[in-house]
Chains A and B, each alone.
Chain A
Amino acid sequence: NAGVTQTPKFRILKIGQSMTLQCTQDMNHNYMYWYRQDPGMGLKLIYYSVGAGITDKGEVPNGYNVSRSTTEDFPLRLELAAPSQTSVYFCASSPAEAQETQYFGPGTRLLVL
């Protein structure tokens, strides 16, 4: 069982470039999330989705976009990369049941120069 997978593991971008961070889960979870983790900090919520076709902003959405066309996939798009977006990005998913926690992917490390 793969759980939550993320690609790529690491990427270097130049300022102004764009890229898509991929996230896939095979657990049929309704809820999916994108977080970023800056050095020495906890995770901050970027965007989340409660099901296919439904997305909403989290705490730090500026500079990012998401889509949720299927239950399995929740890609995160950076349109104009900025140095402030240098971070580690984690995707997570959880089922609809209230007591369940979130399951995290291994993360994507992004460096914007």
Chain B
Amino acid sequence: GEDVEQSLFLSVREGDSSVINCTYTDSSSTYLYWYKQEPGAGLQLLTYIFSNMDMKQDQRLTVLLNKKDKHLSLRIADTQTGDSAIYFCAERRETGRRALTFGSGTRLQVQP
């Protein structure tokens, strides 16, 4: 199965909060990331969290990390139609290549 798992789809109304969840399997992961991908575009880094933190807030974004359960979430407050995109969770393991392992992405649909 996937090393990083995400639900495929989330639909919310404009102004509500969105919560996108992610689980990962490698306890040695030191950094966990959230990327946003709009249609036909590349990946845009939203935020990241170091594994010794349990929360990080950046304007409308809140990242929660439960290292014991290997669970990561991204909360978007006051969700806007411009937030509609695919959101990828990724982990970076401390191997020589420092490459990222991505989940399959969660498509967020924001209804007006």
A interface residues, Cβ below 8 angstroms from B: 31, 33, 40-45, 48, 50, 56, 58, 90, 94, 98-99, 101-107
Contact = CB atoms under 8 A, between A and B. Distances in A.
A98 B30 contact: yes
A99 B31 contact: yes
A99 B50 contact: yes
A101 B42 contact: no
A3 to B, nearest CB: 10
A50 B96 contact: yes
A43 B100 contact: yes
A107 B40 CA distance: 9
B88 A33 contact: no
17 contacts: A33-B99, A42-B2, A42-B105, A43-B43, A43-B100, A45-B97, A45-B99, A50-B97, A56-B97, A58-B97, A90-B43, A98-B30, A99-B31, A101-B48, A101-B92, A106-B42, A107-B42
Interface residues of B, number: 26
Contacts of B30: 98
B77 interface: no
Interface string B20-32: 0000000000110
B108 to A, nearest CB: 15
Interface string B41-66: 11111001010000000000000000
